[in-house]
Every structure is written in C-alpha cells, then in structure tokens.
A = this chain, B = another copy of it.
Amino acid sequence: MKSHRKELWFETTTRRAYQNITGEVERELAASGIREGLCLVNAMHITASVYINDDEQGLLRDYDDWLERLAPHAPTSAYRHNQTGEDNGDAHLKRQVMGREVVVAVTAGALDLGPWEQIFYGEFDGKRRKRVLVKIIGE
C-alpha cells in the first residue's frame, strides 16, 4: 500500500468564500503515483468545509445566502461561543451543513468524479491562513 499526504494552504480575502480546489487535488494524486484507492480531502480547521458540488457562480451565491439564513453571522451575541472573544460562532454551524471532508474514489490514476462534481474549499471565517489535508492511500 502506498500513501501520500499534502497540506494545501488558503487565505481568502473575504470572510466567506467558495474556492474550486479540484486541480490542486488532481496534482497531488498525480504526485502520489496511486492508481487505485481512496482520496480523503478534509478541512483541518473547524470553521471551514470541503464539499463537492457545482462550480456555478449563481449556486455559490445561493449557498451563501442560504447558510446565512440557517446560521446568521450577526448578531454575534446570539452565539455563546462568541463569549470566548470569537465572532465566528456562525461559522462552526455553517461548516456542519456543508461538511468537513469528502472521500473520492481513485480509479486508473484519476479522481473518479461524476460529470459536474468539483471539489470545493468552503471558508466561513477567512482572511487568515488555513489548511486543507489531502491524504491518498492505495496502490
């Protein structure tokens, strides 16, 4: 069994952002030399997500509006977590809706994705350096 590990770093210019990282993950798969296996991609921070969906600008704005309705950023006093001095209580909730991680099949040396599947980094408390882990195992 082979394994490959890589941290991807991001620093978004906005508090919330949705960034297509499929190309970066494909590069790591190529570097790994793995042909058959599983590829885990997970946020290493607890106010961010890795998820798979469509790379369509309207949809990304729909997600953002919807997450703000489900878990609004303001008033920040609505979250007990923010009594610790943080203002990111909402981000911990938004991340649970979108998920921490994806596991993608590796087949014949490629990410085994459906026609519209794209891997996204979802940031809900950005403007600072944060990491995503790519871990691939297989042969």
Interface residues of A (CB under 8 A from B): 1, 3, 5, 36-38, 40, 42-46, 51-54, 56-59, 61-63, 66, 70-71, 79-84, 89, 92-93, 95-105, 107, 112-117, 131, 133, 135, 137-139
Task: Assess the A53–B92 pair: CB atoms within 8 A.
Answer: yes
Q: How many copies does the complex hold?
A: 3
Chain B nearest CB: distance from A139 CB in Å? Answer: 5
The verdict on A1 contacting B36 (CB below 8 Å), with A80-B58, A81-B56, A138-B137 known, is yes
Ranked nearest first, the 6 interchain pairs of A and B with the lowest CB-CB distance are A44-B114, A58-B80, A105-B135, A59-B81, A3-B36, A58-B81
The verdict on A62 contacting B92 (CB below 8 Å), with A5-B107, A46-B54 known, is yes
The verdict on A80 contacting B62 (CB below 8 Å), with A3-B138, A96-B99 known, is yes
Partner of A102, one of B100, B114, B131: B100
A44 vs B105: C-alpha distance in the bound complex, in angstroms?
Answer: 11
Task: Assess the B59–A89 pair: CB atoms within 8 A.
Answer: yes
The verdict on A137 contacting B93 (CB below 8 Å), with A42-B105, A62-B80, A103-B101 known, is no
Please name 27 pairs of A and B residues whose Cβ atoms are closer than 8 Å in the assembled complex, sorted by A.
Answer: A1-B36, A1-B139, A3-B138, A3-B139, A5-B107, A37-B137, A38-B40, A40-B105, A43-B114, A44-B117, A46-B52, A46-B54, A53-B95, A54-B81, A57-B80, A58-B81, A58-B89, A59-B79, A59-B80, A59-B81, A59-B89, A59-B92, A62-B80, A96-B97, A105-B133, A114-B131, A137-B137
